[in-house]
Amino acid sequence: MSLGLILVFGVLLAPLYLVLAGWIFGEPKDTETLAIGLAFMTAIILGPIVFSFVPISFRVIIP
Amino acid sequence: MSTFGADVERLTEPLRKTSKSFYVLFGIAAVFSAIALVAYLIQLRQGLAVTGLRGWGTQGGTPWGLYIGTFIWWVGIAHGGIAISAGVRLFGTEQFLPIARIAEILTIVALPAAATNILLDIGRPDVMYQMILNWPSTVQSSPLTWDMTAIFLYFSLSATYLAITLRRDVYYCRERGTLPEMLDPVYRLLLFRYHPSENEKTEQMVWWLALGVLLLVPLLSGGVVPWLFATMGMHPGWFGASHGPAMLAESLTNAIAVVIIVAGAFRYAYGWDDIIDDEVFRGLNTLLLVLALTTLWFVLQSLVTGSFPAAPAETTSLTNALVAGEFAVPFWLSVGGLLVAVGYLAAQSLQPSLFSVKASVAVGVIVSAAIFLKKVVFVVEGLLHPTREPLASMFADGSYWPTTVEVALTVGTLAGVILAFLAITKIVPIVELGHLDDLPDPDEGDLGGDGSTDDTAADTEGVSA
C-alpha cells in the first residue's frame, strides 16, 4: 500500500471517521436528526464536486 | 457585557438595516472584483504568459509565485474561524462566543478563496477536472492531491458545522419575522424537517464536528500544506521536517490576526461595543502574542542554523539571500512587522491602559501583511536557485516578479471574500442566538413571534413537506 493511501485514508480522514462514529454511537440517539445531519454533509460534499465539473465547459469553448 | 445579555433585535440588525458604509464597502469590493474578472479573462485568453510565472530551470523562472503564496495565506486564515468557534464548544472559551459565527463564516469564505488561487495558478481551469479525474492514481504519491483532499474535507466539515448551528437560529428568527422574505426558499431548505426537539442531538453532533475540525487543523496547515514543499528535496530551503510546525504557527498567527480585523470591523459597523467587548479583543491579543512569538522563534531557528558556518551550502546561500540579498526587503519587512506587533501586544498586556481596539486591529493588519510577505518569499525562494547538483550545473538562477494581472487577481480574491461576507450578513444571523439567556425554549413555543405553538409546529411541518 502506498504512502498516499495510508496518509489519506488512515490519517487525514480519521477526523471524519471520528465525527461519524460520534454522531451514530453517541448519546442522545435521534435517528431523524442524524439522518438530516448526514444528508446535509452529503449535499455539502457532493455540491463542490459537481461544481468542479463546470470548468470542463472551458474545454468545449477552447479545445 | 457579552451576547448573553444582548437584545436579539440588535444582534439581527445586519439582516434588516443597511448602512451607507455597507454600500461604500460593497461598491469598492465590487469594483476590485470586476477588475479581477477582467484580469482573469486576459489570463484565459493569453495564458500564463501574462503572469510573471515561468518554467523552473530552462525558462529561468518560477512556476509558483503570488498565487500559491496567497493560497497558503488563505488556508491559514481559514483555520482561525472555525477553530475559535470549535474552542468555544470544546473548551468552554465562551469569551469568544460573540464572534464565533463571524469566525465560522470567515472559514467558509476563505477556503474557496484559497481554492481559487490554485485555479488561477494552473492556467486552464479544466485542468482542475483532470486533477479530479486522476485522483485515484495521484493520491498514491502526490502531496498536491493530499492537499486538495484535506482542504475539501475541512470545507465540508466546516460548512456542515455552520449549517447545523444555523438551523436553530434561522428557525427562531423566521418565527419572529426578522429574516428577509425573498430568501424564504433558502430558509425552508435549511430548516428541512426541523423540529425544536432536535436541539439536544444537534448540540451533540456539533460537538463532534468541532472535535473533528480541530483535529484537522494541524493536519492541514501543519501537514499537507507544508508537505507540498517539505517533501521536495531538490529545492533549497523547502525540504525538512520543521516546516510543518513552523507553517502551522504562521497560519494560526495569521488566522487570529484576521479574526481581530473582522471582529473590529463588525464592532465598528454596528456599534457593538457592548457585544464584541474589549475582553474579546484582549483575549485575541493574548493568543496573537503567543502565536507571533512562536512564529518569530521558528524564524530565529532558521536564521541561526542557516547562518552557521557548518550549514549546507544551499542553506547558507538561501539564508544570505534572506538576510542581505534579494529577499532582504520583504523578509525584514515581515520580521519587522511581527516584532512591532509583539512589542505592542506585550506592552498592552503589561500596561492595560495601552490597549485599544483600533490599535489591536492595526496590529492585526500588520501581522497579516507580514505573514503574507513571508509566505510569498518562502514559495519563491526555493524555486529560484537550483543549487543542488546535477540541476545546479544544468540551469541558471531564475527570477520572478508578479505582474499587474497577478496583483489584480490576488486583490480580487480579497475583494470577492469581502463581497461574500457582506452578502452573508444579509442572509443569516452573524451572532449565535442559541446561547442568549433570554432566548425562549423553542419547546415551549413562545418565540416572541405572532404565531402560537401550534402555528409554529404546523409551519415547520410545512417546511419539511
CB contact under 8 A, A36 and B193: yes
CB contact under 8 A, A18 and B124: no
Mean per-residue pLDDT for B293-307? 94
Q: Contact at 8 Å (CB) between B385 and B237?
A: no
pLDDT of A62 reads 65
A25 touches B at CB < 8 Å: no
Q: Identify all chain A residues contacting B212, using CB atoms and an 8 Å cutoff.
A: 15-16, 18-19
Q: Identify all chain A residues contacting B224, using CB atoms and an 8 Å cutoff.
A: 12
In the block, cell 477588475 appears at B35
pLDDT of B440 reads 53
What is chain B's mean pLDDT, rounded? Answer: 85
Query: Cα distance from B199 to chain A (closest Cα, Å)?
Result: 9
ipTM for the complex shown: 0.92
Interface size, chain A vs chain B, as Cβ–Cβ contacts under 8 Å: 120
Report the b/e string of B234-268 with b at 16+ CB within 10 A: ebbbbbbeebbebbbbbbbbbbbbbbbbbbbbbbe
Mean per-residue pLDDT for B264-282? 90
Query: Cα distance from A50 to chain B (closest Cα, Å)?
Result: 10
Query: Cα distance from B12 to chain A (closest Cα, Å)?
Result: 25
Does A13 score more than 80 pLDDT?
yes
Q: Identify all chain B residues contacting A30, using CB atoms and an 8 Å cutoff.
A: 198, 200-201
Return the number of other C-beta atoms located less than 10 Å from residue B193's C-beta. 15
CA atoms within 13 A on the CB side of B336: 7
3-state secondary structure of B102: helix
CB contact under 8 A, A30 and B155: no
Domain parsing of chain B, residue ranges: 8-18+52-402+426-442
Mean per-residue pLDDT for B171-198? 87
A32 touches B at CB < 8 Å: yes
Q: What is the 3-state secondary structure (H, E, C) of B152-171?
A: HHHHHHHHHHHHHHHHHHHH
Distance CA B243, CA B251 (A): 12
pLDDT of B455 reads 39
Q: Compute φ and ψ for B101, nearest 5 degrees.
A: -70, -40
Q: Contact at 8 Å (CB) between B78 and B253?
A: no
Nearest to A34 among B129, B138, B201 (CB): B201
CA dihedral B329, B331, B334, B340 (to 10 degrees): -80
Query: Cα distance from A16 to chain B (closest Cα, Å)?
Result: 6
The identity of residue A60, as a single letter, is V
pLDDT of B394 reads 72
Nearest to B156 among A44, A55, A56 (CB): A44
CB contact under 8 A, B205 and A27: no
Nearest to A30 among B139, B157, B198 (CB): B198
CB contact under 8 A, B146 and A7: yes
Q: Contact at 8 Å (CB) between B82 and B153?
A: no
pLDDT bin (cut points 50, 70, 90) of residue A9 is: very high
Nearest to A40 among B128, B139, B160 (CB): B160
Which residues have C-beta within 8 Å of that of residue B282, sequence separation ≥ 6? B355
Query: Cα distance from A9 to chain B (closest Cα, Å)?
Result: 10
Of B383, B409, B32, B431, which is closest to residue B235 (Cα–Cα)? B383
Of B151, B171, B144, which is closest to residue B107 (Cα–Cα)? B151
Give B1-20 pLDDT, tens digit per residue: 444 445 777 788 888 888 88
Bridge partners, B56 (sequence order): B61
A24 touches B at CB < 8 Å: no
| pTM to 2 decimal places | 0.88
Name the fold adopted by B8-18+52-402+426-442. Formate dehydrogenase/DMSO reductase fold (1.20.1630)
pLDDT bin (cut points 50, 70, 90) of residue A6 is: very high
Distance CA B437, CA B439 (A): 6
